[in-house]
Chain A
């Protein structure tokens, strides 16, 4: 892997040239990404959902919580309701489009939270060594050894479930995984010359961890964050399905399945469409992660 930090310090080029070079680097990365079929497909799916989620107020044909009681007699897909309506006569297409919003906000936020906390723990454990490392790795092992779904049930049943509580538990349970990855890379990176140089300059430990080491660990971290976002979406769906997810009545894909899968033999469309929505989004993130990993290997 290249060492941009040292390269930039040494060359001391004017900012404009650096910007051009940075743009060229991004251009190269994007080309590499688009050369991989899984990455292209994954990126397309994810972007499609992001656009649909942002535009939900414009493109959704009905308000997400509006009941069309006339449609209750025949809730199946029709020209008025393209994907049909749910058991309360609410338009499924509108609810699925609106349902993309909470998922696409909560999952990445929780990943960012976990990445921040995990990097801090992993860097400290890898950089300091000895007992700090021991305490952090043991604490992470304990969290990781706990079956997470049971942890979610206990915590969310106790504190009640809201978007912030879900972000909180996801951050706490995913941070140890990221910490483990970052610690492994830190152990390797702290022996590099640029770290020694920074120490010689008298930089603080925090500066060295976050400015010298972390940027050079970003490759594997990025792949993992992409995977984690997919997993988080699954968990948000699962929590909704178990009845401890985002509170009703606002649309939540997992909650929509929970409310309707009992009627599957009569009206399968009510649970099938939300299932298809969440599955496609997670597949998108995972394909993107497969693609990112391929690029990482080629570098």
Chain B
């Protein structure tokens, strides 16, 4: 287990290094870029050069990168030009909002896709299986923004039951829970389509194993064959896939956040990238990669805990 942690921590550090270096180079390769961004389009070249020298941006790229790493290591992530706040505060605030959205969505995705995936996979080729497979294929095929538009046109434009935006502000007469319904619904539909097909495939494979036939032949009720013997084994492969969804939920929900004007991490990154808010882009990329790699590791740990053969 110690080896496992050392190996994964090293990979995490390596990934963070590579990513931070690439993003840093991309943003700050040309020496004048940062000062130009800070001063705006109307500053003279003289002013840009002076600020570049003052900030030490005329030093070689590698020197500046090491300097940057040093500052980040002390916990100072810089100042966001777009939000006029320290980067740490901006990221923390948006990450909290996304975590709320992701947590509710995750709490729906896991039971729903387990139910559908196990039901479909326990009798391969049955009419129910075909129906669930078709449903999950189609739902996972529709881009999130299209799903958002479809749902919003029914529940917002036509029926008027729900609000079309989820700004988390109390204004507009809609409560926060009502605002969250549509974004969560889009994420759950889109994401569970994929997870369902994974669980189904794994379940189909498990149902062909000899121990399932033994359990059926010794007269166990079908229900307990499924619940006691099949499900636990069928969840082994999908558990890593499920853990990977956390990664998607944190960083990939930018589309859903944009559709519903939700003040989350993904939309913050989009704004930062479009506004060329360099400090925020650099710090945000690090946070996103950190979360991605950590959920990956958690997925591996969950796999080990579920499968005693690996643990031993």
Q: Is B27 an interface residue (CB 8 A)?
A: yes
16 pairs across A/B with beta carbons < 8 Å?
A149-B254, A150-B285, A150-B288, A154-B23, A242-B270, A261-B148, A261-B149, A265-B156, A265-B164, A272-B150, A279-B142, A282-B143, A283-B137, A283-B138, A283-B141, A285-B141
**Contacting residues, chain B, for A272 (C-beta < 8 A):** 149-150, 153
CB-CB nearest 6 A-B residue pairs:
A147-B251, A275-B146, A157-B273, A153-B273, A279-B142, A283-B141
A271→B149 CA distance, assembly (Å): 7
- Bound form: Cα–Cα A193–B18 in Å: 40
Residue from B137, B247, B250 whose CB has the most chain A CB atoms within 10 Å: B137
Q: Interface readout for B262-275 with A: 1 if CB under 8 Å, 0 if not?
A: 00001001100110
With A and B bound together, what is the CA distance between A3 and B266 in angstroms?
A: 48
Which listed residue (A141, A283, A287) contacts B142, Cβ 8 A?
A283
Is B19 close to A, CB under 8 A? yes
**A145 touching B289, Cβ below 8 Å:** yes
Q: Are B19 and A142 in contact (CB under 8 A)?
A: yes
**Is B284 in contact with chain A by the CB < 8 A criterion?**
yes
| Inter-chain contacts of B247 with A (CB < 8 A) | 147
A62 to chain B minimum Cβ distance, whole angstroms, is 24
Q: A263-299 CB contact bits vs B (8 Å, 1 = yes)?
A: 0110010011001101100110111001000000000
Are A242 and B138 closer than 8 Å at their CB atoms?
A: no
Contacts of A19 in B (CB 8 A): none
Taking A142-B18, A241-B143, A268-B158 as known contacts, 6 extra A-B pairs with beta carbons closer than 8 A to each other, sorted by chain A number, are A38-B134, A141-B15, A154-B26, A237-B143, A268-B149, A278-B143
* Complex Cα spacing A254 to B255, Å: 11
Cβ of A96 to closest chain B Cβ, rounded Å: 13
Cβ-based interface call for A158 (8 A): yes
Q: Is the CB of A275 within 8 A of B149?
A: yes
User: Would A149 and B266 count as touching, CB distance under 8 A?
Assistant: yes
Assess whether A244 is interfacial by the CB under 8 Å rule: yes
| Given A150-B269, A279-B141: A268 and B157 interface contact (C-beta under 8 Å) | yes
* B114 proximal to A (CB < 8 A): no
The total of Cβ contacts below 8 Å across the A-B interface reads 135
Interfacial residues of chain A within 180-237, with CB under 8 A of chain B in the complex: 230, 234, 237
B259 touches A261 (CB 8 A): yes
Within 137-193 of A, Cβ neighbours of B (below 8 Å) are at 138, 141-142, 145-150, 153-155, 157-158
Assess whether A257 is interfacial by the CB under 8 Å rule: yes
Q: Does B293 sit at the interface, judged by CB under 8 A?
A: yes
User: A102 within 8 Å of B by Cβ?
Assistant: no
A238 and B143 within 8 A (CB): yes
B140 within 8 A of A: yes
Asked if A238 contacts B23 (CB within 8 A), the reply is no
**Distance in Å from the Cβ of A197 to the closest Cβ of chain B?**
34
List chain A residues, Cβ under 8 A from B284. 150
Number of residues of chain B lying within 8 A (CB) of chain A: 51
Instruction: Return the chain A residue nearest B145 by Cβ.
Output: A241
A142 lies within 8 A of B157 (CB): no
A149-B146 contact given A264-B152, A283-B138, A287-B137, CB 8 Å threshold: no
- Answer whether residue A108 sits at the interface, using C-beta atoms and an 8 A cutoff: no
Q: Which residues of B contact A146 (CB under 8 A)?
A: 15, 19, 288-289, 292
A297 to B254, CA, bound (A): 37
Judge if B129 is at the interface, Cβ distance under 8 Å.
no
A61 within 8 A of B: no
| B113 in the interface (beta carbon within 8 A) | no
Residues of chain A within 8 A of B259, CB atoms compared: 261
Chain B contacts for A77, CB-based, 8 A: none
For residue A141, which residues in chain B have a CB less than 8 angstroms away from its CB?
Answer: 11, 15
Contact yes or no, B27 A158, CB < 8 A: yes
The chain B residue sitting closest to A153, CB to CB, is B273
Neighbouring B residues of A275 by C-beta, 8 Å = 143, 145-146, 149-150
Shortest beta-carbon distance from A283 to chain B in Å: 4
Q: In the complex, are the beta carbons of B273 and A142 less than 8 A apart? A: no
CB pair B251 A149 closer than 8 Å: yes
Find chain A residues with CB under 8 A from B293 CB: 145
A243 within 8 A of B: yes
Interface assignment of B14: CB less than 8 Å from any CB of chain A:
yes
